[in-house]
Structures are given as C-alpha cells and as structure tokens.
C-alpha cells in the first residue's frame, strides 16, 4: 500500500504475480528447455557438442556423440571427416580408417578426406603412402591446406628435408 498504490490494488497485482509464477513461468521454462533439448539432439547439435569435447581431448564424451550424429545422418562426408580427424588425434587409427572408407563410398574425390588418409598413413608410420594420399588430395583440390601440411611432413619423414622446407614455403608463403 506504499508508493501511492491503494492496498486492494497492490494485493490484486501481488496475487496476479504469484498466480503467474505458479503457472506461466514453469510452463514457459519447460517449453524452452524442451526446445533446447530437441535442438541439441539434432545431428548438427550433436556434431557441435562432439567437436567441442574433442577439442578439449575429452574422447570418452566426444565419440559417443559423434556416433549418435552419424547414426542420425550417415551420408555426410564432412561429418565422417571430422570424426576421422579426431579419431586420428586420439590414436584410434582403425576406427578412423573405417570412417574414411565410408567417406570415400559417399564421395570418391574428396580432398579433405584424402588428406586425412595421408595423415592416417603418417600416424601409422607409412610416410610414402602418406605422400601419395597428400598428392592425390592436392590433385583433386589444391586449396586443401591439410594436403600441403601432410605432404611436407611425409617428405620430412622420408628424409627429404629440403623438399619439406620447399613444400612449406609454397604452402604458407606463396599462397
């Protein structure tokens, strides 16, 4: 009843606020949380969460989410490449190879997928095979930075340090 408002008006406003808080607020929050849960379980939402966990090296949380995203949408090459990249980073080479094989079935000439095959070969200690994959990836798409990087590392691993330096110069300085 302060601030110039009559007590009956103040009580009526207070009762309306209480009534809203008992009904409207929980209902609206439930709807909002339901929408967020639905959106975060979409393929894109799961993909993003998995990638964030992978960036933090939280492999045990990342790969189940990647798996769920792949099951929701199996035909996405870039998703397969992201999963393969993080599997390589985690040292899970056989699983990475499986995802790259799936990517090849979906799109035969994909430069990032081929460059990842090169990185996979490097991780498996096969620099000559890595070099072949990197060069093939550059044939399909010279814009693929990973192909340039893998090629330079493969050259260095085969003992061609000068070629690796030249490759780095072309990849970084000339482009």
**pLDDT (tens digit per residue) in 54-66:** 888 888 888 888 8
Q: Please name the residues in contact with 96: beta carbons below 8 A apart, sequence gap of 6 or more.
A: 83, 84, 85, 87, 88, 116, 120
Tokens describing residue 140: 């399909």
**pLDDT (tens digit per residue) in 117-134:** 999 999 999 999 999 999
Phi, psi of 168 (to 5 degrees): -65, -45
Is the overall model pTM greater than 0.85, yes or no?
no
* Mean pLDDT taken over the chain: 84
- Look at residue 37 in the predicted model and tell me its pLDDT: 58
**Are the C-beta atoms of residues 146 and 114 closer than 8 Å to each other?**
no
pLDDT at 38 over 60: no
- Look at residue 134 in the predicted model and tell me its pLDDT: 96
Half-sphere exposure of 25 (CA within 13 A, CB side): 7
**Mean pLDDT for the stretch of residues 99-109:** 90
């Amino acid at each position: 009843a302060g601030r110039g408002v009559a007590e009956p008006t103040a009580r009526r406003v207070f009762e309306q606020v209480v009534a809203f808080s008992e009904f409207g607020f929980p209902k609206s929050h439930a709807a909002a949380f339901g929408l967020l849960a639905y959106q975060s379980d979409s393929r894109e939402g799961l993909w993003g969460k998995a990638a964030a966990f992978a960036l933090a090296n939280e492999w045990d949380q990342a790969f189940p989410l990647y798996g769920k995203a792949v099951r929701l949408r199996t035909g996405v090459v870039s998703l397969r490449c992201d999963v393969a990249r993080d599997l390589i980073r985690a040292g899970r080479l056989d699983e990475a190879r499986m995802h790259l094989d799936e990517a090849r079935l979906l799109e035969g000439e994909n430069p990032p997928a081929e460059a990842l095959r090169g990185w996979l070969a490097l991780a498996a200690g096969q620099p000559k095979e890595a070099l072949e994959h990197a060069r093939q990836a550059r044939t399909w798409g010279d814009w693929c930075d990973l192909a340039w990087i893998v090629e330079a590392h493969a050259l260095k691993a085969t003992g061609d340090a000068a070629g690796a330096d030249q490759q780095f110069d072309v990849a970084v300085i000339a482009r």
